[in-house]
Chain A
Amino acid sequence: MEYIDLHAHMVSRTTDDYVQMAMTGCVALTEPAFWPGWDRSSADGFEDYFRQITDFEPKRAAQYGIRHYTWLCLNPKEGEDRALAREVLRRIPRYLDRPNVLGIGEIGLNRVTRNELATFRDHVELALEHDQLIHIHTPHLEDKHKGTRVIVETLLEYELDPGRVLIDHAEEHTLEMILGNGFWTGLTLYPQTKVSPERAIDMLEMHGTDRICVASACDWGPSVPVAVPQFILAMRRRGHPDALIRRVVFENPAEFLGQSPKFQLPEGRGMLAGAAA
């Protein structure tokens, strides 16, 4: 089954991972700007990273028939440094016209500090100023509920269309507050610290499929680049029909991402093409 992985940090993955994703049906992915596991020392380091994800990585993905799209920001893990954040944000607009850039992300919070929140607000305002889609990271583990609540409350202060914002890494205790305020959300199929395929299916059964996507969030940590096809198998094992599965792994991300005119599916892989198959 063809799928779109809405969250994959491919700069951390090998070409073998692209092969596995292509062989299991991945036709497109989006790569949010991320923390490399260590703090960058300057805004110049971010510029090199932005060149990598807007130039080199799309070419690498294209070798395997996968469309590569990306999001730009200074990741929440580095959001505490306000001076660095201001300088990086000053440089981001010059990359927004690149053909694979869909918006600003993955912005958000890490430990939910005052500086992180200020940096988050700066990113939201940058996105609104440039009419960009927004992709949001929510904190991990014990910080997730508090961080998601602060993010949602902050977003509600702005005059923005919640349908153009995806708040990612939702779990059982945060899903309702995201969907209930009209935002899109993502369930992250990531070992240990996020959601298993089985729990993702439970949440879909309880909340339905509207405005919910799934993604691998594969990165430099223990993670699975073929997590979405594993989810597809788990959905079939649970007895769900392929049309429902396709809605989650293909049609929903295509609908959200398609709000950017830059997002194009490969020839013959439109919404109706799959539905007729």
Chain B
Amino acid sequence: MTPCALPSPRTGVELVDEYFIENRTRLLEVAAYLDRVDRAGDAGAGRDFRMRAFREALAVLAQDAPGRTERVQMVFSDPTTEPLPALDQKSARGAYDRWNEAV
């Protein structure tokens, strides 16, 4: 059990009772999204750095240990420490390109 500053007022079973359906729905949305990308039949999508990171994040979800949210955040994060020499793009894209295959 993860130590908490504010213990949850609800028991684990109560949390399942209250929130299971909406999270089941979210899981199906992710499954449907992956099927949709597959159905498009574009091999490039599978090599896209964002989808590579996405699959790594899915593996984190399946781990049976607390701290999944922070680990998923780090899967998508830029691990470098030095500022960029100049602005390359105005907005973030959701995942750091560790494979150097910007699309």
- Bound pair: A and B? yes
**Can you list 24 contacts pairing A with B, beta carbon distance less than 8 Å?**
A80-B87, A111-B89, A111-B90, A112-B78, A113-B83, A113-B85, A141-B93, A142-B77, A142-B93, A142-B95, A143-B78, A145-B73, A145-B74, A145-B77, A150-B81, A173-B70, A204-B6, A205-B5, A208-B5, A209-B5, A238-B10, A239-B9, A240-B9, A244-B6
Shortest CB distance A110–B (Å): 8
A15 CA / B86 CA spacing, docked (Å): 39
Interface of chain B: mostly helix, strand, loop or mixed: loop
A25-33, A83-91, A114-122, A253-261: which lies at the B interface?
A114-122
Q: Is the CB of B4 within 8 A of A141?
A: no
Asked, given contacts A142-B92, A143-B92, A206-B5, whether A117 binds B83 with beta carbons under 8 Å apart, the answer is yes
A149 CA / B19 CA spacing, docked (Å): 34
- Going nearest first, the 5 A-B pairs with the smallest beta carbon separation are A239-B9, A208-B5, A141-B92, A173-B73, A145-B77
A250 CA / B78 CA spacing, docked (Å): 34
A49 CA / B100 CA spacing, docked (Å): 39
A141 CA / B92 CA spacing, docked (Å): 6
Residues of B within 8 A of A142 (CB): 76-78, 92-96
Interface-central residue, B69, B83, B90, by most chain A CB under 10 Å: B83
Asked, given contacts A144-B77, A199-B69, whether A205 binds B4 with beta carbons under 8 Å apart, the answer is yes
Shortest CB distance A188–B (Å): 14
A171 CA / B73 CA spacing, docked (Å): 9
Cβ of B2 < 8 Å from any Cβ of A?
yes
Residues of A within 8 A of B25 (CB): none
Q: Is the CB of B69 within 8 A of A202?
A: yes
Residues of A within 8 A of B77 (CB): 142, 144-146, 173
Cβ of B88 < 8 Å from any Cβ of A?
yes
| Chain B residues with a Cβ closer than 8 Å to the other chain, count | 35
Residues of A within 8 A of B76 (CB): 141-142
Shortest CB distance B93–A (Å): 7
Cβ of B91 < 8 Å from any Cβ of A?
yes
**How many residues of A sit at the interface, in one of the four size bands?**
35 or more
Identify the closest chain B residue to A192 (Cβ). B94
Q: Is the CB of B84 within 8 A of A111?
A: yes
Q: Is the CB of A140 within 8 A of B83?
A: no
Cβ of B8 < 8 Å from any Cβ of A?
yes
Cβ of A237 < 8 Å from any Cβ of B?
yes
Q: Which of A167-196 contact B (CB under 8 A)?
A: 171-173
A198 CA / B69 CA spacing, docked (Å): 12
Shortest CB distance A196–B (Å): 11
Q: Is the CB of A140 within 8 A of B73?
A: no
Q: Is the CB of B4 within 8 A of A111?
A: no
Residues of A within 8 A of B88 (CB): 111
A244 CA / B94 CA spacing, docked (Å): 33
Shortest CB distance B100–A (Å): 14
Cβ of B63 < 8 Å from any Cβ of A?
no
Identify the closest chain A residue to B90 (Cβ). A77
Residues of B within 8 A of A40 (CB): none
Identify the closest chain B residue to A204 (Cβ). B6
Q: Is the CB of B8 within 8 A of A239?
A: yes
Q: Which of B1-60 contact A (CB under 8 A)?
A: 2, 4-10, 14, 18-19
Q: Which of A52-70 contact B (CB under 8 A)?
A: none
Cβ of A197 < 8 Å from any Cβ of B?
no
A143 CA / B73 CA spacing, docked (Å): 11
